[in-house]
Structure 1
Amino acid sequence: MTVRLDYEPYDLGGMTWEDAETAIPDADFVVLPTGSVEQHSLHLPVTVDTLRAESLSREIVEAAPDHDLSMVRLPTLPYGYSEHHMNYPGTVTLSSDTYQQVIVEIGESMANHGAERLLVLNCHGGNRSPLKLAADRIQRDHGVKTSFVHWTDFARDRLKERFGEGWGHAGDHETSAIELFYPDLVRTEKKEPQVRKADFEARQYTYFDDITEQGGLGDPTQSDPEFLEEVVAETNADILAALNSDIDQE
């Protein structure tokens, strides 16, 4: 299930308005997990980024009290900016302007309910530019301190050490993540090294099928969910430490 309904006490989705009235302003961070619905080659479902956002945000919120932080988790936003994958069936995209505005209006809603800080926890690369612009608007127009965390940025060095340079879209890393959290959704028999059609040095590709045969990058046969479980714990601790450091500088 992309967005779980077995809510934990920290999930806004399970709160009444009376619960939310105190939970939102009392939290150190309101957390918005962001993903996408887009092709992930032949062996992974289109919801990979949303599934990652769902699971990783839960792990971060559950670990937060060990770092003296309290968090309220918003429902995962499943759709993102994925226009570059639209040549593959099953991809659903919002325009960059629409997506940016959706994020701003979520931030505005949280501001109206007394949120002090918003953490946007992102798991889709295509969302990065509109999310950064949305964070600017939320902070400048609505007064909510906004942290934008692209989860993979905090894990990048560890992932490179294990998987090398080619572990991108639907490759070693993302296959490991789905095998860790949702193994039944992996078409194991269709895992194969992804064929790179082009590797432009200056030109921006138009659509993702300009650069890949199957739809992915890297080698999903090299996936390692046990290793990734360690990376998740270490990376989430780093993210929480960074959030604390930022609070100390306010």
Structure 2
Amino acid sequence: MAPEIEWMKLTFAELNARAAEGALVIVPVASLEQHGPHLATGVDIICASGVAQRIARRLTTMGQPVVVTPCVWTGLAEHHVPFGGTVTLDFATFSAVLKGVVGSAARAGFKRVMLLNGHGGNAEAVAVVGGECQKDFGIAVAAGTYWHLAGDTFAPILERQSNVLHACEAETSMVMTLLPEAVRTDRLPEAHGPHSTRPEGQPAAMIRRRSFKDITPSGVIGDARSASAEKGEALLEAAAERIAAELVSPRLWD
């Protein structure tokens, strides 16, 4: 039987043993927010948790000790608030929550933590907080957004985009695999919008948050009409394979 990977399903003694053998702690980080007319608001929670658990299972088969915490389920989602159905934090609170989780892992004896982000609005903040945690707690802390870490592995799987957008072909496909009851298939014909959040003239490297309500009436960035559970399975496996390979690099943790 494969070792249990979920922190919440392990006893304190089992977690102490896992810490003693140098286990990596993966902390999924997400958001609770609108995802168009066809997806439940928990998409980022579903996907970040699903990717984290698949990475952990792959690491386990490679002989690497690992545990996955429950998802940090709310983040920075002010740009989705006008639609309704969205929960957001300010940066100070978000930072404090992440520091509380990472600090607790450090106090429990763990020396390596990966903050695995699954919400675009958190990306810069998670990187900043990861660096502060490393300084404050004296352990190795890495941070990244799963579709950035997956890199070019998603493009061959998708028909209408090259990576994750929002409530799009990619996210819809993964939710079809992980929690199909969170997809309103009768609303898929409405599930499309522009393929970028940037107006003409704004460089890709320049960040300026805008309300999604002003960008996409549907709440979707991309086109979910070609989504499928088969694509979702392929995306999840591609992410797990690429990110697990990245996390086993000894140089990452030196």
Deviates more, 1:65-74 or 1:127-136: 65-74
Deviates more, 1:92-101 or 1:147-156: 147-156
Deviates more, 1:38-47 or 1:68-77: 68-77
- Which structure 1 segments of 5+ residues have no match? 1-7
Q: Aligned match of 1:172 in 169, 173, 177?
A: 169
Contact kept in structure 2, 1:27 and 1:72, CA below 8 Å: no
Q: Aligned match of 2:180 in 178, 183, 199?
A: 183
Alpha-carbon deviations, 1:169-191, whole Å to 9, x = none?
00111110111111122111111
Residue 16 (str. 1) matches residue 11 (str. 2) = yes
* Partners of 1:199 and 1:21 in 2: CA distance: 47
Q: Aligned match of 2:214 in 199, 204, 210?
A: 210
* Partners of 2:61 and 2:36 in 1: CA distance: 37
SS in 2 for 1:52: helix
Alpha-carbon deviations, 1:186-234, whole Å to 9, x = none?
1111113523397413283431111101101111111132133123223
* Partners of 2:76 and 2:233 in 1: CA distance: 28
What does 1:1-250 correspond to in 2, within 5 Å? Answer: 9-161=4-156, 162-165=158-161, 168-191=165-188, 192-196=190-194, 199-200=198-199, 201-202=201-202, 204-247=208-251, 250=254
Q: CA deviation at 1:68?
A: 2.6
Percent sequence identity over matched residues? 26
* Partners of 2:17 and 2:123 in 1: CA distance: 31
Contact kept in structure 2, 1:36 and 1:47, CA below 8 Å: yes
Q: CA deviation at 1:52?
A: 0.7
- Which structure 2 segments of 5+ residues have no match? none
Change (3 A) 1:115 1:145: same
Deviates more, 1:11-20 or 1:217-226: 11-20
Aligned residue in 2 for 1:5? none
Q: CA deviation at 1:133?
A: 1.0
CA RMSD, Structure 1 to Structure 2 (Å): 2.1
What TM-score results when the alignment is normalised by the length of structure 1? 0.89
* Partners of 1:130 and 1:154 in 2: CA distance: 16
Contact kept in structure 2, 1:11 and 1:72, CA below 8 Å: yes
Change (3 A) 1:198 1:178: closer
* Partners of 1:136 and 1:249 in 2: CA distance: 13
Change (3 A) 1:96 1:198: closer
* Partners of 1:27 and 1:210 in 2: CA distance: 47
Change (3 A) 1:188 1:152: same
Q: CA deviation at 1:66?
A: 2.3
Q: CA deviation at 1:155?
A: 3.1
Change (3 A) 1:198 1:52: closer
Aligned length: 243
Deviates more, 1:238-247 or 1:119-128: 238-247
User: Relative contact order, CA 8 A, sep 6+: which one is greater?
Assistant: 2
* Partners of 1:129 and 1:57 in 2: CA distance: 19
SS in 1 for 2:249: helix
Amino acid at match of 2:46: L
Amino acid at match of 1:88: F
